[in-house]
Structure 1
């Protein structure tokens, strides 16, 4: 799996094709990143062999087709291709994980959970399945269960993407009201991937919520001074700069927000002076 992280103007978005990113992070909505189910590659995925290299290869081809259909908005066709992959290799864990992600995007939560559980019954230490199941549980406000899944993923020997799980884990701690825990987890992710704007933005927001304005300013500056600045990151930057007394950044980010994203709700809020509007930040 390519470790290169893709981004959108809405924020995070994953270490895989955007289609399989059913978790819209949208920065300030504080979503986690869903991950494409990795292929069998040793301890990282802990995916057992189906016993047939040809069957695995054929299943992988079907999964690639499924991704293509999903990217074109053909989720049902994508699910059909995943089904064909499982016909080729019934114990192919990446297929169950992808199936679950697509089902999540369709709002088929019972089916998605069944798919996640099937994947983990075959490979209990598959870090990708653990990560994505953790995010599924988080989006359904089953926070304690989600934390367990994230912790298990992070404990998998050789796991290649701990920063991705730190992001999702920290976001879910924030949603559960544990700001101190979220700060600690997001800082751990930032230490591993300081160039990740999703980690910097979420960490800045968590610090802002704790009235640590100077510290928050450091992290949001990293995002808003680069190419990944969004309407949401600029809005957060404006709020932080105003509270930290940084008039220069507050003015600069306000101008960028109004010029680059004039129709965004954040730009409209700036124009109306609604800097205390709670609806513009997640609870």
Structure 2
């Protein structure tokens, strides 16, 4: 399903776009009690940078250990709890992730990045109303730079909540602002497909599948759209890509079974 791919990519985007070891929201050095405190924060920051690098490199367990060391050095380091929440999300430990993100938000309640990540986590846990409220709170922060990402996540969450009509204008607006984003492109294509608008669905999914970020989900959607439009040649070409790039995917298995309506 689409949501599986979207979950992974959005979580990764949240890490890249939200975690900063030089956050302007942190307590500055003038508020620290001594140069010793400043040195402690510096060492904790180094640990956090290592943790972020390990997480980006696909080593969440090592990243978690680095974050623990950062927190042991400086238990007031908000970004460490924030990153710990993202690590637990990648490890699919959603309860621990929620605890960490709640801790971060309690320490810095007006941080829109934390609101975004906590909102996405609650969407993963199917707490849709709470997730939407957090997305809206993040979007209401005048200085927030990640609004389009949050609009996208809100739209995806509304789709999951069974509210495609509310999701569509949000995702279309996000697409207008970032037409090259493959997650948004896929989600818009899926919405159009589900509504029976196959020509518009074809337009959006082709842009995804012709780029560098095609997934098993987007190729499978493309196959179903081309079949629906009566173009077996295009459908076979997409199936060849699916077989070559994602031979063990559940989408490839569905194609081989002919399960086009599942």
Number of the residue aligned with 2:20: 38
CA contact (8 A) 1:31 1:168 kept: no
Structure having the higher helix fraction is 2
Matches within 5 A, 1:71-90: 71=57, 73=59, 75=61, 77-90=62-75
Shift of 1:128: 1.5
Shift of 1:59: 2.3
Shift of 1:57: 3.2
Number of the residue aligned with 2:35: none
Does 1:95 find its partner at 2:80?
A: yes
Relative to structure 1, is the Cα distance of residues 134 and 233 closer, same or farther in structure 2, using a 3 angstrom cutoff? same
Alpha-carbon distance in 2 for matches of 1:100, 1:106: 10
Shift of 1:72: 5.5
Number of the residue aligned with 1:111: 96
**Any stretches of 5+ residues in structure 1 without a counterpart?**
1-9, 12-23, 278-283
Alpha-carbon distance in 2 for matches of 1:30, 1:99: 17
Alpha-carbon distance in 2 for matches of 1:251, 1:170: 31
Shift of 1:68: 4.2
Shift of 1:269: 2.4
162-171 vs 218-227, which deviates more? 162-171
The two structures have a TM-score, normalised by structure 2, of 0.83
The two structures have a TM-score, normalised by structure 1, of 0.77
Which SS does the other structure have where 1:26 is aligned?
A: helix
**Any stretches of 5+ residues in structure 2 without a counterpart?**
33-37
CA contact (8 A) 2:132 2:154 kept: yes
Correspondent of 1:140 among 125, 146, 149: 125
Matches within 5 A, 1:1-283: 25-27=4-6, 32-34=10-12, 35-36=14-15, 37-42=19-24, 46-49=25-28, 51-52=31-32, 54-70=39-55, 71=57, 73=59, 75=61, 77-277=62-262
CA contact (8 A) 2:155 2:167 kept: yes
Aligned length: 251
61-70 vs 146-155, which deviates more? 61-70
Alpha-carbon distance in 2 for matches of 1:232, 1:107: 20
CA deviation profile, 1:122-154 (whole Å, cap 9, x unmatched): 222212111110111111111000001111122
CA deviation profile, 1:195-246 (whole Å, cap 9, x unmatched): 1111101111122112222211111010111222222211101112222344
Alpha-carbon distance in 2 for matches of 1:185, 1:30: 20
Alpha-carbon distance in 2 for matches of 1:113, 1:263: 32
Which SS does the other structure have where 2:11 is aligned?
A: coil
Alpha-carbon distance in 1 for matches of 2:84, 2:8: 24
Number of the residue aligned with 1:20: none
Alpha-carbon distance in 1 for matches of 2:215, 2:93: 30
